[in-house]
Structure 1
Amino acid sequence: MSYKSLIIAITEVSLDRAAINQAAALAARFDAHLTGLYVYEPPYYRYPLAYPNIADIDPEAASGKDEATLAAREAFDAACRAEGVETNEWRFVRGETLNTLALHARYADALVMSGGDLAARLAIVSSRPVIAVPEADRDRTLGQRILLAWNASREATRAATAALPLMIGAEQVSVLTIDAEGSAHRDLGDNPGADIALYLARHGIEAEVRRADSDSVGVAETLLTEAVEMNADLICMGAYGHSRLRELVLGGVTRDVIDAPPPVPLLLAH
């Protein structure tokens, strides 16, 4: 089991360098094909009234020859050279950012990009796992110390299976259940975390089970604290177990983790 096709989504090179470097390192680790995907969204897509004349659009930006796009291409090529990723390609695409990225992601094993709300939204609409890398995460090795946030939900299950290639070669894998006691978490069974740990063991992955109570600080903060304590370099979690709209209005774990922001990369699946 391995990743064989990865995409690095580039939207702003000044913010995406950490993600670009991590994507190249992952491609080298799995001998995977890496696609650098730069999406140019014409401003009239979002502000049609401000651009009544399409001819007003910068022709260099629209053709991928502007300074920002060329800098992104240079960063992508440099990362591939540094990691020895020979099977790579560059794509410049015009279109609406979310749907264009989602469409291309469906033909890859995972999408790598900078963290933020767009990454979580892509996990929903693309049906592919998204690895969201914090801007400051440039030198850390990704996927050697993995924390799986487990609540036996559909979303958490998809995150766990999407992360299997990373877990198989990891130094440490921990399964974390939070507030697992009580009737609200009957799906976790009498020994919370044990069932998913057994599933991982059948894939040759030795996972420890950690249990925590959120008390008054909340689930998201408890999750991030546990990640720091175990020196995790990747958190795997389901994204938006409730609807995104509900989390935007009422709050939720996904929203709280993204807004924190997280100190380490996230693997998000929906």
Structure 2
Amino acid sequence: MAYRRLLLPLTGTASGEAALNAALHVAQIYDAHVHCLHVRIDARDVAPLAGEGLSGAMIEEMMAATERESGQRADRVKDLWTRFVAGRDVTLAESAEAAMKAPGATLSFQSIAGREEDIVAQQARLYDLVVVPHPEAGEDVSSSDALHAVLFDSGRPVLMAPRETPPVIGDRVCVAWNGTAQSATSINEALPWLHRAKAVAILHGPEYQRRGPEASGIQTYLRWHGIEAETISFSPQTREVGAGLLGASRDFGADLLVMGAYSHSRLRQLILGGVTRHVLENADIAVQMCR
């Protein structure tokens, strides 16, 4: 089992280089291809605002400003890409067919115009795994359009890279189990990691558990796949269950946390906080999620 095609949406944020490094690291493990995709803002998307009482001149100015901003962001992304590949011993592929024929890890880059959340979600359906940059420090995770587009609309797992490039991903893996369909899906999608991991732990706890099988059930499931995992019960030190989950991962020395995302509605998570949101904003290791 392996991840063969990875998609990396690039937006020019400070975390972009760490995400590139993480994606390349995964590709080198599985001899996979990483397609880096930058979606430029389409200035024509502001045209519908004409029906909101704005004059034609105001709409044209907004479109011009949007075009300038889009161009500046595209330049930052292209500069990031150029710096990243310079001097690296990695194959750049011009097409999917060329990538399939090349040995080892391969990279490609594409920049297109459109709505980022739509294009990323649609393209992600053709990939095994989508790598996204970590939200910027202090940034509300709800503003990450690419992240939520993948989680809610692609049917694919998303790997959130840590803010700083990790030396290794996938040697010591924690899987968060609460009995939900989301946690079951996340573990199934993470089987390539679990098969090659040196150590696997199932994190569970009464405050985290929902209606569904207990941790012993998923432990038996993994044994059927030839994966031995220990079970670790955790209790949050504060009211934040997500903090307890991250603390248990640190205690285990994990370099990857696998978990289901948004088992409550996203609206409820945004209003009340929630485990998913806390982990997304505070994790310092790679986190792979499914919904």
1:213, CA displacement in angstroms?
2.2
Distance 1:186 1:103, change over 3 A: closer
Distance 1:166 1:55, change over 3 A: same
Q: Structure 1 stretch 248-257 or stretch 228-237: which is displaced more?
A: 248-257
In structure 2, the partner of 1:208 is 230
In structure 2, the partner of 1:193 is 215
Q: Structure 1 stretch 34-43 or stretch 204-213: which is displaced more?
A: 34-43
- Taking the aligned partners of 2:129 and 2:66, their CA distance within structure 1 comes to 32
Q: Deviations over 1:8-50 (max 9, x none)?
A: 1111153211110010111111111211111112366469566
Contact in 2 for aligned 1:80/1:86 (Cα 8 Å): no
- Taking the aligned partners of 1:36 and 1:87, their CA distance within structure 2 comes to 11
- Taking the aligned partners of 1:217 and 1:65, their CA distance within structure 2 comes to 39
- Taking the aligned partners of 1:177 and 1:79, their CA distance within structure 2 comes to 44
Structure 1 length-normalised TM: 0.86
Matching residue's letter, 1:174: A
- Taking the aligned partners of 2:69 and 2:271, their CA distance within structure 1 comes to 40
What pairs with 1:50-89 in structure 2 (closer than 5 Å)? 51-52=59-60, 54=63, 58=67, 62=71, 67-78=75-86, 81=89, 86-89=105-108
Structure 2: which 5+ runs fail to align? Answer: 92-102, 136-140
Matching residue's letter, 2:190: A
1:268, CA displacement in angstroms?
1.0
Structure 2 length-normalised TM: 0.80
In structure 1, the partner of 2:94 is none
- Taking the aligned partners of 1:221 and 1:46, their CA distance within structure 2 comes to 40
Contact in 2 for aligned 1:120/1:239 (Cα 8 Å): no
Distance 1:121 1:112, change over 3 A: same
1:165, CA displacement in angstroms?
0.5
Distance 1:131 1:208, change over 3 A: same
1:180, CA displacement in angstroms?
6.4
1:243 correspondence with 2:268: no
In structure 1, the partner of 2:283 is 262
1:144, CA displacement in angstroms?
1.2
In structure 1, the partner of 2:12 is 12
1:175, CA displacement in angstroms?
0.4
Q: Structure 1 stretch 96-105 or stretch 172-181: which is displaced more?
A: 172-181
Q: Percent identity?
A: 29
- Taking the aligned partners of 1:79 and 1:232, their CA distance within structure 2 comes to 31
Matching residue's letter, 1:144: D
Give secondary structure in 1 for the equivalent of 2:14: helix
CA root-mean-square deviation: 2.8
Contact in 1 for aligned 2:124/2:154 (Cα 8 Å): yes
1:121, CA displacement in angstroms?
4.6
Contact in 1 for aligned 2:190/2:258 (Cα 8 Å): yes
Q: Deviations over 1:173-220 (max 9, x none)?
A: 110102169xx74523xxx31111121122221111111223643311
In structure 1, the partner of 2:99 is none
Structure 1: which 5+ runs fail to align? Answer: none
1:74, CA displacement in angstroms?
1.2
